[in-house]
Amino acid sequence: MFKLDDKFLEELGLAALPPEQKQAFLQHIYSELEMRVGEKLTEGMSDELLDEFGYFVDMNMDGMNKWFGENLPDYADRDDFKQLKDANAEAPEAAVMSEYGAMKWLQLNRPDYPQVVAAVLEEIKNEIRSNKDAILEGAASGGAPAGDGSSTDAGVEQVGGDGSDDAASSSDDSAQPQDE
């Protein structure tokens, strides 16, 4: 598990990033991680599996109920579901089912999910490290360090895709950028 926070930026040599730009930069890293992990996870998957995962992304109640009925009919009685539901007491039932179902779907269909996230995160970190001087220079000159498409765009280049695959966010909220 990892956190995208000030400590993460410090690890990458970006502690000197202006405070007003840190959160935007962390959000850009998270978005890039999410997109790349989604692309890796969907490589070689059948349309049927992609549609199945789409039930959880889209919070499609009929599809989620069908999947749970076929794969985890006792989900509502499971301790991990109850804990998630209790931790998100204000969330709609569909949102809790979506989060839980996506996590269980990944465990069943992509048990390598944690390793994929770790490998992609390491790629991104290496790209940022090799471009940290340009990132800091761009930030110091008033340019945004992330998301503006310039050479200081987090040192992380988009690799294609429309970003619609949401697999990276499905089971690890600790990766969300954290304010400090």
> In the chain, pLDDT over 70 holds for what percent of residues?
78
- Residue 164 has a pLDDT of 37
| Residue 40 or 144, more confident | 40
Range name among 91-95, 164-168, 169-173 with the lowest pLDDT average:
164-168
What is the Cα–Cα distance from 84 to 74, expressed in whole angstroms? 15
2-13 mean pLDDT: 90
In this model, does residue 69 exceed pLDDT 60? yes
- Residue 19 has a pLDDT of 86
- Residue 2 has a pLDDT of 77
In this model, does residue 89 exceed pLDDT 50? yes
Q: What share of residues in the chain are helix, strand, coil (percent, to 5)?
A: 65, 0, 35
How does pLDDT run across 37-67, given as a tens digit for each residue? 999 999 989 999 999 999 999 999 999 999 9
Q: What are phi and psi of 169, to 5 degrees?
A: -90, -5
- Residue 149 has a pLDDT of 41
What is the Cα–Cα distance from 157 to 138, expressed in whole angstroms? 16
Considering the entire predicted model, what is its pTM?
0.70
| Residue 44 or 160, more confident | 44
In this model, does residue 161 exceed pLDDT 50? no
78-107 mean pLDDT: 96
119-140 mean pLDDT: 92
- Residue 112 has a pLDDT of 95
The total of other beta-carbon atoms located within 10 Å of residue 40's CB is: 19
